[in-house]
Structure 1
Amino acid sequence: MAARPPRRPHEPVKFAYWVPNVSGGLVISDIEQRTSWDIDYNRELARIAERSGFDYALTQIRFTAGYGAEFQHESVAFSHALAAATEKLTVIAALLPGPWNPTLAGKQLATISQLTGGRIAINVVSGWFRGEFAAIGEPWLDHDERYRRSEEFIRALRGVWTEDSFTFNGDFYRYRDYSLKPKPLDPLPEIFQGGSSRAARDMAARVSDWYFTNGNTPENVARQVDDIQGKAAELGRYVKIGVNAFAVVRETEAEARAVVDEIVEKANPDAVKAFGHEVKNAGAASPEGEGNWAKSSFEDLVQYNDGFKSNLIGTPRQIADRILDLKDAGVDLVLLGFLHFQEEVEFFGREVIPLVRELEARRRPVHAAA
């Protein structure tokens, strides 16, 4: 395997939060969640996050109800609303190839880029919920075909954003002398993607700016990072890495652990098992039988993206130390979910992020400050 390419270890780790633009919060549990999916709550949350040191907000895309998400706001329109309500926050809109094509996405995002000073990015979601595709009449492709389509989606999107008279002959998308005007502002919207399968990692190495992985230990994250960065380096590329985490920050570790215990104790078992069935089938369909959620327990699945595995559960100092461990493993961004978003995002920004910056500063060589 190629050696991991040079990183920029002295750059501050970035922070993002999951936008609750769907109902039900971020855990499949009947525990109280003082979180709302409506626009007024989310506008105020975005302002709190911006003031608290968060760099990004990630909107979700759902087309059908399921696993507590009875109501869902569309991601691109919602992302624009949050960017319009803030001044610095970059909003990442989740897009699903199939319902979207690169022409529509390219036009929407170029316009939002122009209107918000470039504070829009995208997360290309290749798809895991077969029932959703069936419900809206979209073909359900084989696992690796979904990633092939996503890669073409990204290549076509970049083409319409950067070229005039763009021509592209793919298996899923085709263009002939197409010019999109206006184009997005420079720099172009960043492109994120997720997944853990071989196809997902290879796609990230070839075309994505960022790779999101499910929650995991620093050791397991490091293995994914080495794999992706080794392949990216062979192509002269570097891919930034984001990891999912569900943060439960309390004055003592015992208090934080008690919250997680209550979340799991009050989990909706039928909904968790149904979610697990869908996502594990999606991962098992990959040729190597791996993928997101392949080794997730019932407790892991209560938080949609294995957020408990990242172990950001404890006191502010414990959380800060663990974030630095993730950074050492190659993580550039931590994507966070919370139980009570507004109050906990503010607390995280006040009590945890300054500790992370303090720890980063202690490690920074004197010459790096020049």
Structure 2
Amino acid sequence: MSSRALEIAWFSALCDDDFEFLGQPDPSLQSSFDHCRTIAQTADKLGYDNLLLPSGYQLGIDGVAFASGIAPLLKQIKLLLAIRCGEFWPPQIARQVATLDQMLGGRLTINIISSDLPGESLAAGPRYDRTVEVMNILKTLLNGLPLDHQGEFYKLKLDPPRIRTVSGLCPPLYFGGLSTEAREAAAKAADVYLMWPDTLDGVAGIIKDLRERAANHGRTLRFGYRVHVVVRETEAEARTAADRLLSRLDPETGAAIRAKSLDSQSYGVRRQAELRDAASQQDGYIEDNLWTGIGRARSGCGAAIVGDPDQVLAKLKAYHSLGLEAFILSGYPHAAECDLFGRHVLPALRRWQAAG
């Protein structure tokens, strides 16, 4: 193993994204404080490093409110709080972030989402320009510096908030997007560039491009990967479990789910569709152990690493060797798959990590 860092995170289904059968909502798995608390505490107990708290305007429960409620119940895990830029005033969210970080004992990280204000639509270029402004404002205020920001979207002259993070610094900012505008935004202001599933060659190409873009701005980036997992004791059992997820999905329902999403026309979503189209029509695998079937029933992150523990471990190692450091994993149902990965793969990852 290289000396590069390794972060293993899980996903808390705040956005109603939890199923036993994809496309078939189950009231017992819908987003609620109790259900998402179970996922969070399972990941915490099993030793995951971080937990993504996603955000969707139309679905589920609020991430900031959930983070506040769950913080005192967690022992060691960090929280990766998604912040939708179009829905917050930057000085306000800076104060909220500092407060949450104190509640977590310094274990807060931030996932920046370049969203619109609900009910409005801003073209991609200006929207990502606004996102860069938000990231720069947050970094200035949360690093304890006075702010004199005269941008296109925000004109602010402020002292930093009195309340500070535990470290006194802005938590790491995770950010993703495949368009040229998104890549440039990441290169200018993000700390960790997140990508959705892709082939090994595809991941290598994205990392190369983002490293070059960041260097043009005198910066460096870390890299993360958001992907589902289906791990069982044997490959045959894992493939059977993956097929079962789609066993009650009809094509019309799947198409309607994908079309309904707010990001259904984004570059990232189109890339997930390209992978599905290029995959084997017989079983949906685009390369060894990377299954695109998930994307038939959801927009966004649309593929899963499927296999036995050794195969899943080997796939993660292969991605890590390309430069990926942060893995944000999920599986259906989320609490059950969190437990399976935590028992079958996570201990081996920790031993490999320690050996490096």
Range that drifts further, 156-165 or 317-326: 156-165
The DSSP-based 3-state class of the residue aligned with 2:219 is: coil
Match of 2:18 among 21, 25, 31: 25
Counterpart of 1:50 in structure 2 is: 44
Distance in 1 between residues matched to 2:301 and 2:82, nearest whole Å: 18
Distance in 1 between residues matched to 2:324 and 2:140, nearest whole Å: 28
**What does 1:99-110 align with in structure 2 at a 5 Å threshold?**
99-110=87-98
Counterpart of 2:56 in structure 1 is: 62
Distance in 1 between residues matched to 2:12 and 2:194, nearest whole Å: 16
Counterpart of 1:294 in structure 2 is: 271
Distance in 2 between residues matched to 1:314 and 1:33, nearest whole Å: 29
Change (3 A) 1:90 1:168: same
Distance in 1 between residues matched to 2:139 and 2:98, nearest whole Å: 11
The DSSP-based 3-state class of the residue aligned with 2:227 is: strand
Counterpart of 1:239 in structure 2 is: 221
The DSSP-based 3-state class of the residue aligned with 1:294 is: helix
TM-score between the two structures when normalised by the length of structure 2: 0.85
Change (3 A) 1:9 1:279: farther
Matched, 1:222 2:217: no
Per-residue deviation, 1:213: 0.7
Contact 2:272 2:301 in 1 (8 A): no
Matched, 1:189 2:183: no
Instruction: Tell me the amino acid that sits aligned with residue 7 of structure 2.
Output: K
Change (3 A) 1:257 1:13: same
Matched, 1:282 2:277: no
Distance in 1 between residues matched to 2:251 and 2:315, nearest whole Å: 30
Counterpart of 2:280 in structure 1 is: none
Change (3 A) 1:37 1:268: farther
Counterpart of 1:319 in structure 2 is: 312
Instruction: Tell me the amino acid that sits aligned with residue 302 of structure 1.
Output: A
Per-residue deviation, 1:361: 5.4
Counterpart of 2:161 in structure 1 is: 180
Per-residue deviation, 1:270: 4.1
Instruction: Tell me the amino acid that sits aligned with residue 156 of structure 2.
Output: Y
Per-residue deviation, 1:28: 4.3
Change (3 A) 1:281 1:49: closer
Per-residue deviation, 1:126: 1.2
The DSSP-based 3-state class of the residue aligned with 1:193 is: strand
Distance in 1 between residues matched to 2:149 and 2:296, nearest whole Å: 40
Instruction: Tell me the amino acid that sits aligned with residue 198 of structure 1.
Output: T
The DSSP-based 3-state class of the residue aligned with 1:243 is: strand
Per-residue deviation, 1:194: 1.4
The DSSP-based 3-state class of the residue aligned with 1:247 is: strand
The DSSP-based 3-state class of the residue aligned with 1:98 is: helix
Contact 2:257 2:297 in 1 (8 A): no
Match of 2:126 among 142, 145, 154: 145
TM-score between the two structures when normalised by the length of structure 1: 0.82
Distance in 2 between residues matched to 1:89 and 1:280, nearest whole Å: 29
Contact 1:244 1:307 in 2 (8 A): no
Counterpart of 1:84 in structure 2 is: 72
Instruction: Tell me the amino acid that sits aligned with residue 258 of structure 1.
Output: T
**What does 1:358-369 align with in structure 2 at a 5 Å threshold?**
358-360=351-353, 364=356
> C-alpha offsets along residues 72-109 of structure 1, whole Å, 9 cap, x if unaligned?
11011112222221122111111111211211211111
Contact 2:47 2:77 in 1 (8 A): no
Change (3 A) 1:232 1:86: same
Change (3 A) 1:177 1:37: closer
The DSSP-based 3-state class of the residue aligned with 2:271 is: coil
Per-residue deviation, 1:231: 2.0
Matched, 1:199 2:176: no
Contact 2:114 2:128 in 1 (8 A): yes
Change (3 A) 1:165 1:251: closer
Instruction: Tell me the amino acid that sits aligned with residue 273 of structure 1.
Output: A
Identical-pair percentage: 24
The DSSP-based 3-state class of the residue aligned with 1:293 is: helix
Instruction: Tell me the amino acid that sits aligned with residue 240 of structure 2.
Output: A
Range that drifts further, 226-235 or 294-303: 294-303
Distance in 2 between residues matched to 1:33 and 1:124, nearest whole Å: 29
Match of 1:339 among 319, 332, 353: 332
Per-residue deviation, 1:36: 4.9
Structure 1 unpaired stretches of 5+: 1-7, 66-71, 284-289, 365-370
Change (3 A) 1:81 1:316: same
**What does 1:113-192 align with in structure 2 at a 5 Å threshold?**
113-127=101-115, 136-137=118-119, 139-186=120-167, 187-192=169-174
Contact 1:257 1:313 in 2 (8 A): yes
Counterpart of 2:283 in structure 1 is: none
Per-residue deviation, 1:276: 3.3
Length, aligned pairs only? 335
Distance in 1 between residues matched to 2:68 and 2:314, nearest whole Å: 34
Contact 1:122 1:190 in 2 (8 A): yes
Matched, 1:75 2:56: no
Instruction: Tell me the amino acid that sits aligned with residue 229 of structure 1.
Output: R
Distance in 2 between residues matched to 1:275 and 1:200, nearest whole Å: 24
